Structure formats: C-alpha cells, structure tokens
Structure 1
Amino acid sequence: MANRRNNRLSGEMKRVISEVIRNEVKDPRLSELLSVTDVDVMEDLKYAKVYISVYGDIEPTLEALRSAKGFIRREVGKRIKMRLTPELLFEKDDSIEKGIYMSSLINKVIEDEESRKPKDESEDE
C-alpha cells in the first residue's frame, strides 16, 4: 500500500517539479534542454531524489536547481497538499548516456561478428 502511494506521489511530484522549473524558475544557468526523468520519494517522505537529464554540460544546471530548491519545494508543497514536503535532492541522471554507450557496444559486436563470417555464408543469405 505504501509503495503504491510513493509511486503516485513520485509521479505527481515529477509533473509539478517539471512545470515549476519550466515556467517559474528564472535562472540563466538552466539549460533549455532540461528534463526531469524521475523522482524517487523515500519511504519516510523526508527526501526526494530528483533525477535531471540535460543535453550538454549539466553542472551549471544542477547549481541553478540547487540554489532554487527552496522555491521549488515551496511550490510543490502548495500544489500537492501534503503535511510534509520532502527535501529535494537534485542528481544527474546518466541513464540515457549509458543506453547510448550500450547501444554502441552492441553495434560494435554485431559488426565484428559480420566481419568474421566467411564470404560464402554471407552470399548464401
């Protein structure tokens, strides 16, 4: 039961945080190509890890978000009626980069396998 509640809360927080960052946080360090990929709310509701993905250098964007986290937290508390609003911890989400890297490794293995095939086999197919 609590797990389902955390999942629903995480999804709602992701939506609200994305909206607040996009529409209300005015910081020139924020990247235009910023995406909130996931929000992980801890069981005790004291902390929420907010995973951010950015095209390009992420450090200035993380600094901007960390400096605006009090404002973002207050807005989340206003929009989602909660007794306790979790403290926001912004972290880099590198899952997209890892996926691209894994895809390139798979493509390399496929190319290596095709180059090892005898020419007779490749002509038959």
Structure 2
Amino acid sequence: MGQLRVEKVQELIKQELSKMILTELKDPGIGFVTVTQVEATGDLRSAKVYLSLLGSDEEKAQTWKALERALGHMRSEIGKRIRLRLTPELTLHLDKSIDYSTHIEKLLLKIKSEEDGK
C-alpha cells in the first residue's frame, strides 16, 4: 500500500481520536490527554496510538484506565468516520517525550546555574 495513503490515514485517525477524547468521551476519569502520534502498519490492520498524559501519577493512572476502557468504542467510531475496508486494531502507548524534554531542560538549567555560581 502506498506510504502516502498510510500517512494520510494516520493523520485522520489522530485527528478523529483527538476530537473524540476531547469532546465526546464522557468518562469523568479522563484528564488532560494529547494524541501525539499514530503509527499504522502498511496494511492498515493495526495502529499504535501514542498519548501524552498530564497531571499527577494518580491522575495519569486513572486517565489511562479510562482510555483503555473506551478503546473499543474509539475503534468502532473510527470505523464509522473513516471509510476503510478494515478498521485498524488500536493499541495505546504512553509517549514520554514531554517528560524526557522536561528532564533535559532541568539538567541544562542546573548546569547553567552551576556555571554562573563559579
């Protein structure tokens, strides 16, 4: 299957999931979530959904559980909204890039403050 088509489908899934999580899922356990990336296989049978969660560890855990409960609903909605022969099987993955970049920024600030103190 053409790589361009796969990329377009990935972007459509990302947009639809973002919209769905933001406005349509009514679970009070869902906190602040951002869909950062979707990686679909070449045959579009499965897709990894990368999510960034914000909040305390307890809030993140609660949000993660709520999203896992809603995964079947999200997949069926994707199937209705995007016309594909097969709806991809969705799997959730935690995107830790924001946490990593925050950690690097703190380290850089620490190094800068130590250099200024000399």
**Structure 2 equivalent of residue 39 of structure 1:** 38
Which stretches in structure 1 are left out of the alignment for 5+ residues?
117-125
CA shift for structure 1 position 87: 0.9
* Number of positions where the alignment pairs a residue of Structure 1 with one of Structure 2: 115
TM-score calculated relative to the size of structure 1: 0.82
Question: Which one has the largest radius of gyration?
Answer: 1
Which stretches in structure 2 are left out of the alignment for 5+ residues?
none
Distance 1:111 1:22 in 2: 39
TM-score calculated relative to the size of structure 2: 0.87
Distance 1:46 1:10 in 2: 12
CA shift for structure 1 position 8: 1.4
Which residue, out of 75, 80, 83, partners 2:82?
Answer: 80
Q: Is the 8 A contact 1:10 1:41 kept in 2?
A: yes
**Structure 1 equivalent of residue 47 of structure 2:** 48
Find out whether 1:113 has 2:115 as its counterpart.
yes
Identity %: 37
Aligned CA RMSD, in angstroms, stands at 1.6
**Structure 1 equivalent of residue 3 of structure 2:** 3
Alignment of 1:8-27 (within 5 A): 8-27=8-27
Q: Is the 8 A contact 1:51 1:90 kept in 2?
A: yes
Distance 2:35 2:24 in 1: 15
Find out whether 1:71 has 2:73 as its counterpart.
yes
Find out whether 1:28 has 2:28 as its counterpart.
yes
Letter in 2 for 1:30: I
1:3-41 superposed Cα distances (whole Å, 9 cap, x missing partner): 22222111111000111122222112111x221111111
Q: Is the 8 A contact 1:58 1:92 kept in 2?
A: no
